[in-house]
Amino acid sequence: MTGTLIVLGTAQDGGIPQLGSGPGTGAPRLVSSIAVVMDDGTTLLADVSPDVKAQLAKLNQVAAYQKRKARNAVDHITLTHAHMGHYTGLVQFGPEAHNAAALPTWVTASMATYLRDNQPWAALIEGGHLDINSDTGLGGFPIAPGLMLRLVPVPHRAEFTDTVGISVNNEALFIPDIDSWEAWPGAEEEVARHRICLLDASYSSLEEIPGRDLTDIPHPLVSDTLARFGHLTNERRLILTHINHSNPIADPQSKAAAQVRESGFEVAEDFMSFPLGRD
């Protein structure tokens, strides 16, 4: 079965613009998230951002999404971790919205515990709105015909939960948040394994936000990512996402964005899409 990956948002957790920080760099961007719509209409949402309503409204433009008979907005959810931009849109899947059945939600054991132990998420589970599946292990597991997920552990600040990247059919890899590539010995092997990779590009420089020490919120710099995976750009699309409002690559006209393109990488744009399974 083939499908389409749609990039639903490309900004760091607070979006662009961010509250209280002016217009930000470039055009407005929604918070990072992706969807996969299979050709039979089955739809997976990976990360549920605070912008989820505006993001899912755009799925009506995908022909296969129109084939859906289910009344739920999506058929499956998976989550990378419990930082604000990645799961708080779950509030829209509760009793106030019209979801016909409990949504299969594929997460790590740590994320499952966090959701079960904290409101308002616990109420969504107890009320039968989310069907939490945390027996996900390290291997791939099928969730629908032609759709296999694999949760890939990555190092990232773990105040609440661990963090994973999301692999879809070993073809597309989504890693919106990671502390550093050095801290993840499997980084090159995982990126090499996928044809389409959406990778954390929060910051271009440690001096981007005056008055804030970015070593407290570690991310690989864009230059680190270009250096580490530059040799892998030939046969795959390496796309930079989860862009902070301060990052010059958010503006396609910037020198920084041009340098990304010259290095064989791409800067993600909201609602760009990729065919899956059609090699």
In 3-state terms, the chain is what percent helix, strand and coil (to 5)?
25, 25, 50
| Part of the chain binding Zn ion (CB under 5 A), chosen from 7-15, 181-189, 208-216, 227-235 | 7-15
Taking the CA atoms of 199, 205, 208 and 214 in sequence, report the sign of the dihedral they define.
positive
| Of residues 83 and 194, the one with the C-beta less far from Zn ion | 83
> Can you tell me which residue has the tokens 């503006």?
251
When asked if residue 194 is in the footprint of Zn ion (CB under 5 A), the reply is no
| Part of the chain binding Zn ion (CB under 5 A), chosen from 79-87, 144-152, 183-191, 205-213 | 79-87
- What torsion, rounded to 10 degrees, do the Cα atoms 244, 221, 182, 109 define? 0
Q: What gap in Å lies between CA 259 and CA 23, rounded to an integer?
A: 23
CB of 63 to Zn ion, least distance (A): 31
CB of 173 to Zn ion, least distance (A): 16
**Per-residue binder mask for Zn ion (CB under 5 A), 158-177, x = binder:** -------------------x
CB of 69 to Zn ion, least distance (A): 33
> Can you tell me which residue has the tokens 């006209």?
253
Whether the Cβ atoms of residue 222 and residue 240 lie closer than 8 Å to each other: yes
> Can you tell me which residue has the tokens 């079965």?
1
| Part of the chain binding Zn ion (CB under 5 A), chosen from 84-92, 98-106, 220-228, 250-258 | 84-92
Residue 210 sits at φ, ψ, to 5 deg, of -55, 135
Which of 76, 83, 236, 245 touches Zn ion (CB under 5 A)? 83
| Of residues 162 and 171, the one with the C-beta less far from Zn ion | 162
When asked if residue 85 is in the footprint of Zn ion (CB under 5 A), the reply is yes
When asked if residue 24 is in the footprint of Zn ion (CB under 5 A), the reply is no
Q: What gap in Å lies between CA 51 and CA 100, rounded to an integer?
A: 21
Q: What gap in Å lies between CA 199 and CA 267, rounded to an integer?
A: 10
Binding site for Zn ion (CB under 5 A): 13, 83, 85, 177
